[in-house]
Each structure stands twice: as C-alpha cells, then as structure tokens.
C-alpha cells in the first residue's frame, strides 16, 4: 500500500506506528479528523494476517468514526487503533500499558475505548498510563461497558424504520431478526422484547442462544439462515459486510438496523437495498449510542438517563436521513454521508478568534 497517497485520498491527519520490544506491542493509531473535537475510537486487538491488513482496518475504522460522530451530533472526531496479536494469548498488562503510553504521547488528540479484543478492564489498565481512555470498568472508577447505550440506539433506529414503513414505530408483534446476541445483540433483543417484539436469533454460541431463548422466547435459526428469515427488521450485531452480492437477494425484511460496523460490503449495496424497497439505517448512525455514552464520559459524569435521552435522538436523525435520501434520489447510506460531511464542513469554516 502507498500509505501517504491513501492518507491524502481521504484526508487523514495522522497515523502512528507503535512498537515496544519488551512487551511485544505492535500497534497502529489512526487519527482521521479532529474538526469537531478530539478523535475517539476503540482499541481493537486482532491477529491480523499481515501489517497491511491491520493498516487497512485501522484506516477504514477511523474514518468511519468521523462520520459516526458527525452525523450523531457528537463533538468528537474520528480515530481508531489496532494492536496486532491474539487477545486470548498475547494480551498482557505490560502490552496494554505500553499502548497507553503511545496514546498519551498524542496529548489528547486521540481518546481510546474498548473494541473487539479489548474490554473495560483493559481500558482501566491503559488508564494507568494516560487519562485519555474511556469505557473504563466500574471497579476502576469508570462507567463501564457502553453496550446498553449502543443497543438502545439500534432499537431506536429500528423504530424509525418501522415508522417509515408502517407509519407506526410500535414494536408490538414485529419480528426482529438479530444476528449475533453477544453484549449488544443481547440488549437489542431485551429492549425489543420488552416492547412486544418477537425475536429471531442466530449466533455461533449455543450458550448465548440458550440465554435469549430462555429469557425472550427467541426463535433460533442458523447463522446463515438468518438472512432469509421473514421479518420486519434484520439486525446484524456481529459481522460486517453482511449485505453483499451473495446475501442481498435472500433478505425478506422491510429494513436493516444493527450494531455491526460496515454492514454494506460495498457502497453500491445501499442503493441495491433501496431498489428492493428495504430501508437501511446507516450502521454508523444507528450504532452510535456507544460513542454518545463515551462523549458523556469525556465531558464529565455519565448519567444513564441522560445518555439514553441523547441516544434516543437517533430516531429523528434516522428519519432525517430517509427524507434526504428520498428528496435527492440517493441511497440512505449516501444521504447519511452527506449530512456528516456538511456538518464537518460548516464547523471547519467558522472563523478563528485570536486571544492572547
């Protein structure tokens, strides 16, 4: 990969390669844009097949965080970091603290949080080296895992889809098909079930499936069969790129709203969904509840009720995206991008005021 040309193409601000021989840390931090505020994004630890694969992932994810913050109204920028390694066998206190020191060296330009391969306990370790860490575990004085807030946003986005399709946002007797019922997917199932929805679930974990079956009377289907289930809304909460050439003709849903990132394998799939009459709630909008939770943490005390009130605004934001898509004859994914870009542009053009 020609790194600098890639950075220029999407206007990345900074990429930092991190190495610490003593702990075995090999990591990359990407800061895409800080127009709206400090870049916030999770620390992902994954056994990437190559350094190029890790770089591609961190660049893609950090840019996505910029759009997520902008379209959801957060005063944050987009960033992300990846640690190359197996979190089950290679994650140590020394490695995490080394990562914390590299994050601290950016002076607050990048604030980290949990992601795939890391958790709130890990953020507490990183916080020993830098104050620029969010999602810190409760026992270390933080607000903990933001999964409940992410799930509330997905539920809210789902209701916006139902409003657009049926004229009513009621979840009563609606069929919600959830792919992945781990932390976020479990809460999506819980919130929808509590409002009367019928849950269909798929996951690779039999334990997680038993849990949602016992608690929410969920109908269980195969991990690949979930695409063809007749339902009102399909909620991908596990894998990215699940809307692709192989799956798009299988969908029998009215809309798609989930917590997984990069649900569309390619941008063109957003328009393909639209042609099929399927309302797509852009992933980085409907799953932005966790980011909103982290913003509250960065700004001060996290109050759950206030977080959920702010996350609930995703409902109106999703309907705004649908309206713009219809008015301009574009996909909802492109409409969301344009709204995010317009906000960043408007803030970047505000004049600076000199003060000694």
Residue 9, C-beta contacts closer than 8 angstroms, at least 6 positions apart: none
Which candidate in 9, 26, 68, 80 is catalytic?
A: 80
Active site residue 80: yes
Report the alpha-carbon distance of residue 351 to residue 49 in Å, rounded.
45
Strand partners, 46: 84
Q: Is 83 exposed, middle or buried (0-12, 13-18, 19+ CB in 10 A)?
A: buried
* Residue 6 CA: distances (Å) to CA of 14, 169, 228, 244, 261: 12, 42, 37, 24, 21
138 CB-side CA count, 13 A: 4
Report the alpha-carbon distance of residue 311 to residue 184 in Å, rounded.
14
* Residue 140 CA: distances (Å) to CA of 92, 122, 135, 192: 18, 11, 10, 31
- Which residues does the annotation mark as catalytic? 80
């Amino acid at each position: 990969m020609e790194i600098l040309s890639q950075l220029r193409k999407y206007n990345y601000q900074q990429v930092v390669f991190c190495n610490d021989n003593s702990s075995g840390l090999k990591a990359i931090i990407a800061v895409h844009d800080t127009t709206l505020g400090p870049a916030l994004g999770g620390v992902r630890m994954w056994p990437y097949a190559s350094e190029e694969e890790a770089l591609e992932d961190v660049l893609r994810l950090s840019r996505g965080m910029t759009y997520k913050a902008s379209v959801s109204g957060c005063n944050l920028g987009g960033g992300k970091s990846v640690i190359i390694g197996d979190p089950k066998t290679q994650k140590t206190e020394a490695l995490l603290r080394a990562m914390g020191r590299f994050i601290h060296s950016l002076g607050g330009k990048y604030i980290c949080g949990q992601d795939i391969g890391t958790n709130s306990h890990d953020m507490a370790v990183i916080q020993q080296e830098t104050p620029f860490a969010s999602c810190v575990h409760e026992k270390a004085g933080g607000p903990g895992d933001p999964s409940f807030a992410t799930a509330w946003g997905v539920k809210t986005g789902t209701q916006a889809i139902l409003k657009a399709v049926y004229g009513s946002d009621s979840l009563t007797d609606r069929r919600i098909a959830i792919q992945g019922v781990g932390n976020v997917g479990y809460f999506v199932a819980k919130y929808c079930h509590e409002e009367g929805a019928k849950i269909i679930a798929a996951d690779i974990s039999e334990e997680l499936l038993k849990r949602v079956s016992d608690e929410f009377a969920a109908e269980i289907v195969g991990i690949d069969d979930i695409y063809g289930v007749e339902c009102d809304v399909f909620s991908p909460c596990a894998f990215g790129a699940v809307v692709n050439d192989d799956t798009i003709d299988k969908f029998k849903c009215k809309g798609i709203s989930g917590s997984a990132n990069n649900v569309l394998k390619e941008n063109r799939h957003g328009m393909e969904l639209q042609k099929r009459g399927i309302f797509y709630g852009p992933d980085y909008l409907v799953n932005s509840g966790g980011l909103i939770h982290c913003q509250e943490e960065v700004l001060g005390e996290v109050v759950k009720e206030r977080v959920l009130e702010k996350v609930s605004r995703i409902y109106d934001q999703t309907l705004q995206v649908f309206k713009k898509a219809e008015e301009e004859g574009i996909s909802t994914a492109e409409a969301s991008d344009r709204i995010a870009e317009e906000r960043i542009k408007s803030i970047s053009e505000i004049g600076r005021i000199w003060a000694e």
